[in-house]
Amino acid sequence: MDDALEARVSALRKAGRYAEAATLREGAGDLRGASQLYADVWEWEKAIALAEDAGALAMAYGHALAADDREALGRLLAMLPDHPEEAQLAAELADAKGRVIDAARLREAAGEVLEAAEAFTRAGELFEAARCYESAGEYRRAGMLYERRLKEDGTDGEAALRLGRILAHFGRWDHAARALQRAEEDPERRDAALALQVACFTALQMHDAAGACLARLRREHGELPASVPAFLEATFGDEAGLAGLARGDEATQLLAGRYRVLHSLGAGGTGRVLLAHDGFYERKVAVKVLNVGTGSQGRDAYLRFAKEARVAAGLEHPNVVRVFEFNPDGPFLVMEHLAGGTLEDRLQAAAERDQEEGSGEGRTARLPYAVIRHVGASILRGLEAVHRRGVVHRDLKPANVFFSAGGDVKLGDFGVAHLQDLGATLTGALMGTLAYMAPEQITGSTKPTAATDLYAFGVILFRLVAGELPYRGPDFVAQHLESPVPVPSERGADRRFDALVQRLLAKEQQARPESAETVRAAFEALDWRDPEVDAFATLAEMERRPGTVSLPALAPEARAEVKDADRYTVIEEREGGGVLALDGALGRNVRIVPCDEALASWFKAWATADHPFLQAVLDVDAEHGRAILEEPLGERLGQLALEPARRAQVRAQLHEALGHLHGAGLVHGHVSPGRVRISRGRAVLMLPPRPGSGAQATPAADLAALDALVPRPTQREAPPR
């Protein structure tokens, strides 16, 4: 547009004659300018039409938003997907107006699929969000959202079909079959659902079910092969179907089509516990499989186990073991895997250590007061949670008190839990361990209550503070029922614990404290200064002692946190920053290092790449400026002379660690002898002194550094498999 025309338009605008100015711009071919002039005076219909004619669809969409013109909005939303750049601009306008669903659709059209998925999730459009995640290859996220969608509407055949496909992709054949059975009810998805069901049932070795699905499919499609193997060969290219396409034999080793068993964690009276890998969520889990006997005894065992599943699955509390799934067909329970072992493990280890030093004399060693306080308060918080749900644990003992890798304490194994509101009988009341059982639980004289669990807690507390059980056995029944209530201080404990323990161990239920909340208040009000360890000494006092050091790099509030955690005792400074400290909760050394917000982010990223041959990040506390790192045992690589076979094994482990790290999108950047620790059977790649950066920080550079550090083995030196 020439200067003269621009001057005329400007003059008309100043005079408020916008329509005439717009006509001039339109006549000169400036449709965008004309559109904006009409919009300035709320002539929305003309503004929208001119913007559309100009191909400025995002501008037209903005005008339609301002006018709340639903017809125009619908038309433009149908047009924008064919114009990705305009769609991206329009998405920003939709976001500004709070039109989340429009923004999601427009971002998907612009190719911003993950952003679209997040927007759909915020809007509650679970199917659309799942579809976007699926298209982006985020199958696990997609699967979880399809599951949520089906809980909203079990008749959504498309969601069921898509979920079935994803579950089958991860080898969850039985779960996939269930989803596909829902999809089969939708006439439009029936054929696809039946075809996949044939494959899933074949993978489960349920050949009759697979044949029945094929028969239903052939009623409408008689041209299909009549035999299952022939159908699978024609459909999937393998007569074993999807299972035959799975890598190796893994599909046949999956529990319930999902959990790959790694090894056994132990066994008890009600079943065995397995460590397994959940292929769908890529995490380690503990799977408790019930040993169901025959007859009424087996039926009672199953009912107790099913009750445990219902109770535990309904509890979400930081001091209660989390339950992910109950499979009644196994039957088995899938729980979070707690790598820190049990309180019984800790007590036994302490006893063995004291016996080796000649001080045990058959007693169970007393743990430091800092640990006792942490464990006791955690147990009581867990009991508060379960008692509020009307649940009595009934099998509280150190073997059912678990530690996470980070030292959190959680109650587990509700195999004999008693739901008060179900009015269950006392059948199986003697399932608990006798050494920890309350009198009423032994005799079955009254219904177990919260006081029954508090009695068991009293036994645990007595053992923690005195180093032995209150009743030494072997006749636990007579002792719990008839013997006087023991006094902890008469067994070597401090007097401060006497009153609370004796109240907890009262023979009559009504004589015990009324609730776990009451006990926790009294428990935490005790004097917790440890006469032997003094775990609560201030850091200033610790610094004055020989052999201890300060935390010079940590912020003052972080120093207070180390003290107040009742857990870490500083030992010495470590090269490279931070300190070596004793983690009292887990009985092992850790490294505490300072970190700012940026470094905290990097530590968290490293934590997601957790691997047996990488130094573990146990905790990151950005608020207090610290991170807790594993302090691996062993010596530096440069200090050892390794035999060829061991050197080859070390290289293989470090190569595996780097491959896992690179797969997580991280680079080490400092592979050197000082960053490797070697112990029996394990090589650990330590964190670099700072995040890898620069041109040399690449996966290829990491692998080249490994080649220089530990050359490739000859054929003779290959590590044993």
What distance lies between CA 144 and its chain's CA centroid? 14
d(CA 690, CA 560): 25
Residues 677, 683: contact at Cβ < 8 Å?
yes
d(CA 226, CA 239): 13
Edge-first strand order for the sheet with 259-267 is 254-255, 259-267, 271-278, 283-290, 332-336, 323-327
> Exposed, middle or buried by CB within 10 Å (0-12, 13-18, 19+), for 105?
buried
- Candidates 231, 498, 226, 527; CA nearest to 373 is 527
Q: Enumerate the β-bridge partners of residue 286.
A: 275, 335
Q: Is 694 left (phi over 0), alpha (psi -120 to 50) or beta?
A: left
d(CA 542, CA 222): 84
> Exposed, middle or buried by CB within 10 Å (0-12, 13-18, 19+), for 217?
buried
Amino acid at 640: L
Helix (H) or strand (E) holding 392: strand 391-392
Known catalytic residue at 395: yes
Angle of the 228-236 helix axis to the 207-218 helix axis, nearest 10 = 70
CA atoms within 13 A on the CB side of 235: 25
Q: Which of 395, 530, 583, 702 is the catalytic position?
A: 395
Which two three-digit tokens encode residue 136? 């982006």
d(CA 440, CA 428): 13
Buried b (16+ CB within 10 A) or exposed e, 582-592: bbbbbbebbbb
Instruction: Give the Å distances, CA to CA, from 610 to 598, 600, 657, 663, 705.
Output: 19, 16, 9, 11, 21
Amino acid at 612: P
Residues 627, 616: contact at Cβ < 8 Å?
no
Q: In sequence order, what are the residues at sequence separation of 6 or more whose Cβ sits closer than 8 angstroms to the Cβ of residue 408?
A: 318, 319, 378
Which two three-digit tokens encode residue 267? 């066994």
Q: In sequence order, what are the residues at sequence separation of 6 or more whose Cβ sits closer than 8 angstroms to the Cβ of residue 609?
A: 660, 661, 663, 664, 666
Which two three-digit tokens encode residue 450? 């919260």
Catalytic residues: 395
